[in-house]
Amino acid sequence: MQPATFALPSRRSFFGSRAFYGYLFTVPGLLVAGALILYPLLFGLYVSLNDWNWASGQSAQMTFVGLRNYIDLVHDELFWNALLNTFYFTGAALVVEMMLGTACALLLNSVAAGSAFFRTILIFPLMISDIVAAIMWKMLLDPSLGFVNYLLSLVGIGSINWLSDSHLVIPAIVLIDAWWQTGVITLIILAGLQSLPEEPREIARVDGANAWQIFVHVTLPAITPFLWTAAIFRAIDLLRVFAIVWGTTGGGPARASQVAQHYIYAQGIGGYLHIGYSTSLAVTFAAFICITVVILLGLSRKGPAE
């Protein structure tokens, strides 16, 4: 018996073949991406090889300096500080958000009555724009005038210096981001859970497995692809964090919360106007993100066999 997909006459023309549709579907998107992204990217790469310092009157022309910017950044301890902060923040936030988001998705999936109501509330923070979330939490976490410390003082906990203590500042930002973006994970995992067929779980239940065993042996493997998708995308966005830092601490105290994009911004149009150097920092940081994603992708492929 012939497999269904290969029952195509060999004389069939290209038009109407699967490959044709494949290209038809892909090429327009690629054109858009290419036009919008390729030129700025190439221009950016070229700029990174130049010294283009608007602060000293060079805005009209750049000076080609080859790889000097890249050599300089190796010795730039502020850049490495920013990278360290970024990875610390990303790791912590990813763990918190994945656990919280998956828990929320599981809870939402297990109730029928009221699930739409709860889902709306749990996703709600996503609808707040990042600048509002940042300014809001800055007010909430103010050591003396903030509502959070007021609530804590009611149960006897003294004033916590959330955003001005260099040890607490990144956990505080993790808290803000977790409140704000966990909904992304929840949505993806929930959609994944709800697209799963019922039978495997039914079969397991009939076989006498309890809820925990069903979760670990049936549900978890089935949603693993969704977990990885969510994790990788969240990681990419976490690494690129900017607005929350810009709106709350501005990188302080003493650069304890200065993340990579913020440092790139401060070296570039946000401060020193060393546009060439700032772009080389951005390119290098992009490379770090790529490496991280490649590692994560590799780990996701090595998951349990089918």
Partner 1 sequence: MRASRLGVYASLILLSLLFAFPVAWLIWTSLKLPVQASAIPPVWVFEPQWSNYVDAWSDRGFSSAFFNTVVIGTGTVIVSIAFGLPMGYSLARSPIRGKQFIGVSVLFLRMLPEMIFLIPLYGIYRSIGLFDTWTGMILAFQIITLPFAVWLLRGFVEGVPVDIEDVARVDGCTDFQVLTRITMPLILPGIVAAAMFTFVSVWGGLLFPLALGYTRAETISVAIANFRGYSNFQWPVMAAGAVIATIPQILFFGFIQRHLIAGLTVGSVKG
Partner 2 sequence: MSLRTWLIRAASVLAAAISVSASPALADDFNWKQAQGQTVRVLLNSHPWQETLEKRIPEFEALTGIKVEVSSLAEATFWDRVTLGLSSNEPPFDVFMLSPNQTGYTGYQNGWIEPLDGYIKDASKTDAAYDFEDIYKYTVDGFRLPTADGKVYGIPISLETYMIFYRTDLFAEQGIDVSALGTVDDWLGALEKVNAAYKDKGIAAVSIRGQDPTMPDELLAAVNNYWGDRPFMAQRMFYFDENWKPRFTDPAVMKGFELWAKLLNFGPPGVENFTWYEVSNTFAQGRAATIWFDASVFAGMLNDPKQSTVVGKVGYAAVPKTETGHGTTHWGWGLGMTAKSPVKDAAWLFIQWATSKESDLDTGKATFGPVRASTWAALGGTFPPEFTKAADESFKISVPGYMYFDGAREVADRIIDAVMRLKAGEDPDAVMGQLNDQAAKIVEANHLKK
Among 111, 132, 157, 269, binds partner 2 (CB under 8 A): 269
Among 59, 63, 110, 166, binds partner 1 (CB under 8 A): 110
* Radius of gyration over every alpha carbon of the chain, rounded to an integer in angstroms: 25
Q: Which is nearer to partner 1, 166 or 211 (CB)?
A: 211
Among 23, 63, 202, 221, binds partner 1 (CB under 8 A): 23
Q: State yes or no: residue 126 binds partner 1 (CB under 8 A).
A: yes
**116 is in the binding site of which of partner 1, partner 2, none (Cβ under 5 to 8 A by kind)?**
partner 1
Half-sphere exposure of 120 (CA within 13 A, CB side): 3
Please choose, out of 173-181, 214-222, 225-233, 244-252, the segment that lies near partner 2 by the rule CB under 8 A.
244-252
Ramachandran sector of residue 208 (left: φ over 0; alpha: ψ -120 to 50; beta: rest): left
Record the tokens describing residue 22, joined without a space: 């494949």
Q: State yes or no: residue 232 binds partner 2 (CB under 8 A).
A: no
Record the tokens describing residue 121, joined without a space: 């509330």
Among 32, 71, 220, 295, binds partner 1 (CB under 8 A): 32
Q: State yes or no: residue 56 binds partner 2 (CB under 8 A).
A: yes
Q: State yes or no: residue 63 binds partner 2 (CB under 8 A).
A: no
Please choose, out of 48-56, 88-96, 182-190, 214-222, the segment that lies near partner 2 by the rule CB under 8 A.
48-56
Q: State yes or no: residue 132 binds partner 1 (CB under 8 A).
A: yes
Q: State yes or no: residue 200 binds partner 2 (CB under 8 A).
A: no
Q: State yes or no: residue 270 binds partner 2 (CB under 8 A).
A: yes
Please choose, out of 57-65, 66-74, 89-97, 280-288, the segment that lies near partner 1 by the rule CB under 8 A.
280-288
Record the tokens describing residue 266, joined without a space: 């401060």
Q: How near is the Cβ of 292 to partner 1 at its closest, in Å?
A: 9
Record the tokens describing residue 186, joined without a space: 């929840």
Q: How near is the Cβ of 66 to partner 2 at its closest, in Å?
A: 18
Give the chain as a 3 state SS string. CCCHHHCCCCCCCCCCCHHHHHHHHHHHHHHHHHHHHHHHHHHHHHHCCEECEHHHCCCCCCEECCCHHHHHHHCCHHHHHHHHHHHHHHHHHHHHHHHHHHHHHHHHHCCCCCHHHHHHHHHHHHHCCHHHHHHHHHHHCCCCCCHHHHHHHHCCCCCCCCCCCCCCHHHHHHHHHHHHHHHHHHHHHHHHHHCCCCHHHHHHHHCCCCHHHHHHHHHHHHHHHHHHHHHHHHHHHHHCCCHHHHHHCCCCCCCCCCCHHHHHHHHCCCCCCEHHHHHHHHHHHHHHHHHHHHHHHHHHHCCCCC
Neighbours of 52 (CB within 10 A): 24
Q: Which is nearer to partner 1, 139 or 157 (CB)?
A: 139
Q: State yes or no: residue 179 binds partner 1 (CB under 8 A).
A: yes
Q: How near is the Cβ of 69 to partner 2 at its closest, in Å?
A: 13
Q: How near is the Cβ of 2 to partner 1 at its closest, in Å?
A: 10
Among 123, 152, 204, 209, binds partner 1 (CB under 8 A): 123
Q: How near is the Cβ of 43 to partner 1 at its closest, in Å?
A: 4
Q: State yes or no: residue 70 binds partner 2 (CB under 8 A).
A: no
- Interacting residue ranges for partner 2, rule: CB under 8 A: 53-60, 142-145, 159, 161, 163-164, 246, 249-250, 252-254, 269-273
